Amino acid sequence: MASQSLHHHFASLRLRTRQPRNPSPRPLTVAASKNPPLPGRKLRAAVIGGGPAGSSAAESLASGGVETFLFERSPSSAKPCGGAIPLCMLDEFDLPHSLVDRHVTEMRVISPSNITVDFGKTLRPHEFIAMLRREVLDSFLRSRAESRGAELITGLVTDLELPRSSSSPYVVHYTSGGSKRSLAVDVVVGADGANSRVAKSIGAGEYSYAIAFQERIRLPDEKMKYYENLAEMYLGDDVSPDFYAWVFPKCDHVAVGTGTVRSKREIKAYQRGIRERVRPKIEGGQVIKVEAHPIPEHPRPVRVRGRVALVGDAAGYVTKCSGEGIYFAAKSGRMCGEGIVKASEGGARMVGEEDLRREYLRQWDDRYVSTYRVLDLLEKVFYGSNWGREAMVELCGGEYVQRVSLESYMYKRLVEGDRWEGVKMAASTVATLVRCKIMSGEMGRLKAIA
């Protein structure tokens, strides 16, 4: 019977890929009768990793009546991260505005030939990009999960023991306070980041990743004023061959960094490149911290296996083009938690792999795959070469482009745009790409003559 429903599921997947946008008939699995009720106890869930993904998952699970254990190895560490979140996250996750360090209302994009374009003319007064410190956000979300009933365990998870049969529990082995402990649970949510141990335990497979490298620099006051509400994005082969370099303002310093997928060994050279490009603006500054972190480029081959689901960076939910991960981590954690609550009917029944796929993965993919695909396309076209980058900066000068991209970033939905403007935007995109490609051809000819 299990295989039958799986077959239905696979068949419905086939339909989906042939007819995009057609909601395929869901397999009629009656979850209530399939899952056995738990004998006199609630469903136990372990959430491994206490970042935005883990905390959101734990919060949803605990609020839904599931007995939740949230594991975090170092609650006070500051994660190396851009720290920018979209406006919708403040609303959806009820984040108090006191968490926000800076309201960025202007984004400057600079091309390889230093053509500068200002993003932000279309922002309305109440709109901004929130910059915050990860340690502040993470601890807020964790304590909220705790207040909803999740038990916070400070410890390092060393191993996840897979069950021998469908009714045995998963055993989480961890060290806490110097001693080795273990905990038996029914469901595991892996939210332990890019180097996920949970992913390794279930054999989720690898993904290619980018290296993000950043230096936090404290600037003298007059220079810091320039970055009061302004973030900068630099493009060029000197700062990154396939991504962008940034200057993001933080609470009292700026983060200057860059990232790359294919030339990880030259990351230091790229960092020097960005330091050079920004030199007059950071002269006299003091480097207070240097940090680096891997960023997944695409989802892992397996995101759900058995009664283990991966969320956030562990699943590989970082978007291309913008490299945004915080919102998607939190959202996937929440969706996964809510999915488990629904499938278990408030913690009363056991859940299975099918439930995780149906309630979490299917919902997630249906909602966000197109977003990811669009961003992947943008990255391929606009980040791959210098002429693509020049074209992008030129296009970003257009007001309609700015409005559409900012709104889709801030609200995570494709805004209903003016059709005529859309056509004009498409035409000018093609025109700009053609022009810049021609110029790049001429540049190549110059090199050839010489």
Partner 1 sequence: MSISMALFSPPAPNLRTLLSSPRSLPKPRLTLKPSPSLMPKGPAFFAVSASSDNGAGAVPSSAVAVEEQGEPKVAVEPAKEPERENGSVASAPEEGAVAVAKFNDSRWVGGTWNLKQFQKDGSTDWDAVIDAEVRRRKWLEDNPESSSNDDPVVFDTSIVPWWAWMKRFHLPEAELLNGRAAMIGFFMAYLVDSLTGVGLVDQMGNFFCKTLLFIAVVGVLVIRKNEDVETIKKLIEETTFYDKQWQATWQDDNSGSSKNG
Q: With beta carbons less than 8 A apart as the criterion, state whether 69 and 145 touch.
A: no
Query: Minimum distance from CB of 422 to partner 1 (Å)?
Result: 18
Query: Minimum distance from CB of 353 to partner 1 (Å)?
Result: 5
121 binds partner 1 (CB under 8 A): no
Judged by CB under 8 A, the chain residues 39 through 78 that form the site for partner 1 are none
Among 74, 77, 147, 168, binds partner 1 (CB under 8 A): 168
Judged by CB under 8 A, the chain residues 207 through 266 that form the site for partner 1 are 207, 215, 226, 234, 236-239
Neighbours of 439 (CB within 10 A): 15
110 binds partner 1 (CB under 8 A): yes
Q: Please identify, using beta-carbon distances, which residue of 28 and 449 lies nearer to partner 1.
A: 449
Judged by CB under 8 A, the chain residues 5 through 34 that form the site for partner 1 are 6, 9-10, 13, 17
Residues in contact with partner 1, counted by CB under 8 A, come to a total of 85
Judged by CB under 8 A, the chain residues 296 through 325 that form the site for partner 1 are 298-307, 320
Strands 187-190 and 44-48, by their bridges, are parallel
Task: Report which DSSP code applies to 128.
Answer: -
Query: Minimum distance from CB of 438 to partner 1 (Å)?
Result: 5
294 phi-psi bin (left φ>0, alpha ψ -120 to 50, beta other): beta
Stretch that binds partner 1, among 22-30, 63-71, 109-117, 402-410 (CB under 8 A): 109-117
Among 369, 415, 427, 430, binds partner 1 (CB under 8 A): 369
| Distances from the Cα of 57 to the Cα of 136, 209, 241, 298, 346, angstroms | 18, 24, 36, 21, 14
Stretch that binds partner 1, among 60-68, 82-90, 191-199, 390-398 (CB under 8 A): 390-398
Q: Please identify, using beta-carbon distances, which residue of 415 and 438 lies nearer to partner 1.
A: 438
Query: Minimum distance from CB of 355 to partner 1 (Å)?
Result: 11
362-383 helix and 326-343 helix, angle to the nearest 10 degrees: 160
- Helix ranges (H only) for 192-258 are 197-201, 221-226
Identify the CA nearest to 256 among candidates 265, 264, 246.
246
Query: Minimum distance from CB of 258 to partner 1 (Å)?
Result: 12
Judged by CB under 8 A, the chain residues 332 through 361 that form the site for partner 1 are 352-353, 357, 361
Judged by CB under 8 A, the chain residues 400 through 429 that form the site for partner 1 are 428
- The string of DSSP letters for 19-45 reads STT-PPPPP---HHHHSPBPSSSPPEE
386-396 helix and 362-383 helix, angle to the nearest 10 degrees: 110
Q: Please identify, using beta-carbon distances, which residue of 236 and 259 lies nearer to partner 1.
A: 236
Per-residue interface string for the shown chain with partner 1, residues 262-301, x marking contact by CB under 8 A: ------xx--xx-xxxxxxx-x--xxxxxx------xxxx
Q: Please identify, using beta-carbon distances, which residue of 279 and 419 lies nearer to partner 1.
A: 279
Query: Minimum distance from CB of 279 to partner 1 (Å)?
Result: 4
Q: Please identify, using beta-carbon distances, which residue of 55 and 429 lies nearer to partner 1.
A: 429
Judged by CB under 8 A, the chain residues 429 through 448 that form the site for partner 1 are 431-432, 434-436, 438-439, 442-443, 446-447
Strand order, beta sheet including 245-249: 106-110, 230-234, 245-249, 254-260, 209-218, 286-296
Looking at this protein, which amino acid is placed at residue 371?
A: T
Among 3, 76, 98, 179, binds partner 1 (CB under 8 A): 3
H helix or E strand, kind and range, residue 91: helix 87-92
- Helix ranges (H only) for 319-361 are 326-343, 353-356
Task: Report which DSSP code applies to 349.
Answer: B
Residue 301 backbone dihedrals phi, psi, to 5 degrees: -60, -30
